Amino acid sequence: MPLPKNIVILISGSGSNMAAIVQTAQQQGWQEQFGATVAAVISNRPDAAGLQLAQSLGVAAQALDHRAFESREAFDAALMQLIDGHQPALVVLAGFMRILTPGFVGHYAGRLINIHPSLLPAFPGLNTHQRAIDAGCAQAGCTVHQVTAELDHGPILAQAVVPVLPGDTADTLAARVLIEEHRLYPLAVRRWLQDEP
Ligand code: GAR
């Protein structure tokens, strides 16, 4: 039996990437294959729809409201405590819309990954789809990467490409990219589990 590998997923919104990972883990038997369990889903927004979705999938869901903290450092410290209660082998950012402190990133170095809705290194930051359309890109996509101190700049683990079609709006492009995110992120997490001793 492999050593237990707990996964903690951080979200801020609808949690569709989180659900894709949880469902793939359940369908593919990651527990039996890799000893991997999604131990908890944590949101910085108590009203995030993804919290209920996590519960409906049988995963413990917790909220830690960032507005209750005086500083980014104080919130990140409390978040680390909550996460570490689950002894995570891997922390997965899935639409977690917070800038992380260097202390947080350093604490989870090598076991912190993110999905970003662009083909990094193009378009780090926000409004990625509109920026890709405005730049006249023929292709867009998503990137799974390791998280490092610089926002959206860590080593790339996986990417998926979609076409930008004539008449695309940010919404239509985002929807096309999101379908690929739901395929790519579980694949990248699975690969990470396979490669971990
Ligand atoms: C996803 O498109 C993800 O790539 C993006 O937020 C969305 C979350 O959707 N993340 C970022 O923009 C991070 N900078 P979800 O909550 O349904 O998974």
Q: Which residues line ligand 1 (CB under 6 A)?
A: 11, 13-17, 50, 94-95, 115-117, 142, 178, 181
CA 114 centroid distance within chain: 4
Query: What tens digit of pLDDT does each residue of 16-49 get?
Result: 999 999 999 999 999 999 999 999 999 999 999 9
Its pTM stands at: 0.98
Nearest Cα neighbor of 64 from 47, 80, 79 is 79
Residues 126 and 52: their CA atoms lie apart, in Å, by: 26
- Give the distance (Å) from ligand 1 centre to CA of residue 120: 14
Domain ranges for the chain: 5-195
Q: Catalytic residue, from 116, 129, 145, 182: name it.
A: 116
Q: What are phi and psi of 170, to 5 degrees?
A: -55, -35
CATH number for the region 5-195 comes to 3.40.50.170
Based on the residue annotation, tell me whether 145 is a catalytic residue of this protein.
no
Output the tens digit of pLDDT for each of the chain's 197 residues: 677 899 999 999 999 999 999 999 999 999 999 999 999 999 999 999 999 999 999 999 999 999 999 999 999 999 999 999 999 999 999 999 999 999 999 999 999 999 999 999 999 999 999 999 999 999 999 999 999 999 999 999 999 999 999 999 999 999 999 999 999 999 999 999 999 86
